[in-house]
């Protein structure tokens, strides 16, 4: 029997944040204390505008903080490295274009480095690096840019899995692609099987059925539906006004009548295991090959989601560490932590670190 709801431990939101706070999951420095010798603060970023990023990097530089790489984190967890209370790690997930245009120049300016978790299945080719002033082009760094960042030592490139995929794991439609779907974040759009290059539900797929979706790295089994049903839903919307179709009463009932009772197949445990291993192993191999390196041996799991199959695969494939979030544990890296369940803090908490100009509120 499939689980039709996303488990609480895979959700974010305000309630999760409140529970983390009251259950003591934040390190003491967040509340005005010191950074203990057994604690390494690790902060995560995504697509950062300059106005948000620069004050935090300036705060770190002015207060004497230095940055570490993912190998350093692994040594610290194993007890083979000790840091003073002015060491931190800065993690940029997804390798957005802003890593090239905004973050890299600022990191160089302030004498800092970062760990970038890249998604090779989303990275495009380009004949040359863009100028940092060029706001056009693909949303993620290109291969040329990622190689340049790696070669310069500005960033420590590691894996964020091959495609950063969400998969359908429910058996009944919970919605359909409407014009409002355009606001769904790019990396939250579910994966569509059956094409050579990774493909995801797009805003132009008006009428396509949507089902409960979870991370590929969770314990959820992927459910594959008859593609003809999806095609009929999209065609029905197209022939009946496109976006205007959704302004008419009864549109949902029409699509539910088409999508209801669609045939589906559920991944076997073996297929699930193979898909998870592909996401981990092929991503690492591609990154090492394209960067002409052997240094990619760590992973940050999308949305911080892991599961029984993923934890076993990480061990089997020889990964050094993984960042993943679960309900127990502190949002910082501590000596002796489970190396496949390392945890981080949102980057706003940089300004809570001890130092001149420290904030007691955010």
pLDDT single digits (tens) 72-103: 999 999 999 999 999 999 999 999 999 999 99
What is the Cα–Cα distance from 211 to 306, expressed in whole angstroms? 20
Range list of β-strands (E), 42-86: 42-45, 66-67
Distances (CA, A) of 205 to 86, 201, 280: 49, 7, 29
1: pLDDT confidence band, cut at 50, 70 and 90?
A: very low
Smallest CA-to-CA distance from 158 within 313, 301, 353, 343 is with 301
Please tell me the predicted confidence (pLDDT) of residue 315: 98
Please tell me the predicted confidence (pLDDT) of residue 210: 97
- pLDDT tens-digit profile of 109-128? 999 999 999 999 999 999 99
pLDDT over threshold 80, residue 17 = no
- Torsion (CA) 263, 268, 274, 280 in degrees, nearest 10: 80
Share of the chain above pLDDT 90, in %: 86
Which is more confidently placed, 133 or 258? Answer: 258
Token reading at 127: 């004949």
Please tell me the predicted confidence (pLDDT) of residue 333: 96
- Torsion (CA) 85, 95, 161, 2 in degrees, nearest 10: 100
Rounded mean pLDDT, 270-296: 97
- Cα 4–chain centre separation: 22
Please tell me the predicted confidence (pLDDT) of residue 91: 98
- pLDDT tens-digit profile of 199-219? 999 999 999 999 999 999 999
Smallest CA-to-CA distance from 123 within 101, 94, 153 is with 94
**Block residue for tokens 């579910």:** 190
The CATH H-level superfamily of 8-164+280-352 is Glycoside hydrolase/deacetylase (3.20.20.370)
Q: Contact, 117 vs 136, CB < 8 A? A: no
pLDDT over threshold 90, residue 21 = no
Domain boundaries, the chain: 8-164+280-352, 167-270
What is the Cα–Cα distance from 237 to 240, expressed in whole angstroms? 5
Q: Contact, 280 vs 317, CB < 8 A? A: yes
pLDDT over threshold 80, residue 269 = yes
Rounded mean pLDDT, 324-336: 88
- pLDDT tens-digit profile of 24-65? 689 999 999 999 899 999 999 999 999 999 999 999 999 999
Which is more confidently placed, 280 or 20? Answer: 280
What is the Cα–Cα distance from 152 to 148, expressed in whole angstroms? 6
Q: Contact, 171 vs 2, CB < 8 A? A: yes
217 Cβ contact list (under 8 Å, min separation 6): 161, 276, 279, 301, 302, 305, 306, 307, 310
Distances (CA, A) of 276 to 23, 121, 201, 334: 32, 14, 20, 27
Rounded mean pLDDT, 333-339: 95
Exposure of 338 by Cβ count < 10 A (0-12 exposed, 13-18 middle, 19+ buried)? middle
**Terminal-to-terminal C-alpha distance of the chain:** 44
Confidence (pTM): 0.94
What is the Cα–Cα distance from 99 to 92, expressed in whole angstroms? 8
279 Cβ contact list (under 8 Å, min separation 6): 161, 162, 163, 165, 216, 217
Please tell me the predicted confidence (pLDDT) of residue 128: 94
What is the Cα–Cα distance from 168 to 216, expressed in whole angstroms? 9
- pLDDT tens-digit profile of 139-173? 999 999 999 999 999 999 999 999 999 999 999 99
The CB density around residue 339, as the number of other CB atoms within 10 Å, is 18
What is the Cα–Cα distance from 343 to 43, expressed in whole angstroms? 9
362: pLDDT confidence band, cut at 50, 70 and 90?
A: low
pLDDT over threshold 80, residue 231 = yes
The CB density around residue 241, as the number of other CB atoms within 10 Å, is 13
């Amino acid at each position: 029997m499939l689980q039709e709801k996303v488990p609480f431990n895979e959700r974010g939101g305000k309630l999760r944040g409140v529970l983390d706070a009251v259950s003591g999951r934040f390190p003491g420095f967040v509340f005005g204390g010191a950074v203990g010798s057994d604690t390494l603060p690790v902060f995560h970023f995504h697509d950062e505008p300059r106005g948000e990023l620069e004050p935090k990097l300036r705060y770190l530089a002015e207060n004497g903080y230095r940055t570490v790489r993912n190998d350093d984190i692994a040594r610290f967890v194993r007890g083979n490295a000790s840091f003073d209370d002015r060491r931190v790690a800065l993690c940029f997930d997804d390798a957005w274009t802003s890593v090239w245009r905004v973050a890299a120049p600022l990191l160089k300016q302030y004498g800092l480095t970062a760990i970038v978790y890249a998604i090779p299945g989303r990275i495009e080719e380009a004949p040359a690096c863009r100028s940092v002033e060029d706001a056009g082009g693909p949303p993620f760094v290109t291969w040329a840019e990622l190689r340049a960042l790696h070669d310069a030592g500005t960033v420590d490139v590691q894996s964020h899995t091959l495609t950063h995929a969400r998969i359908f794991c429910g058996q009944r439609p919970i919605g359909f692609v409407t014009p409002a779907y355009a606001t769904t974040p790019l990396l939250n759009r579910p994966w569509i099987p059956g094409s050579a290059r990774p493909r995801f539900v797009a805003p132009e797929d008006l009428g396509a059925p949507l089902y409960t979706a979870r991370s590929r790295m969770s314990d959820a089994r992927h459910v594959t539906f008859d593609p003809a049903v999806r095609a009929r839903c999209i065609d029905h919307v197209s022939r009946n006004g496109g976006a205007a179709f959704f302004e008419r009463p009864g549109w949902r009932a029409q699509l539910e009548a088409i999508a209801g009772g669609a045939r589906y197949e559920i991944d076997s445990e073996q297929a699930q295991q193979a898909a998870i291993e592909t996401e981990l192993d092929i991503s690492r191999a591609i990154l090492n090959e394209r960067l002409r390196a052997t240094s990619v041996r760590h992973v940050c799991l999308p949305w911080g989601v892991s599961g029984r199959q993923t934890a076993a695969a990480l061990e089997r494939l020889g990964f050094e560490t993984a960042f993943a979030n679960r309900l127990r544990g502190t949002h910082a890296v501590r000596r002796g932590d489970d190396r496949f369940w390392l945890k981080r803090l949102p980057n706003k908490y940089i300004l809570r670190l001890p130092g001149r100009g420290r904030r007691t509120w955010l």
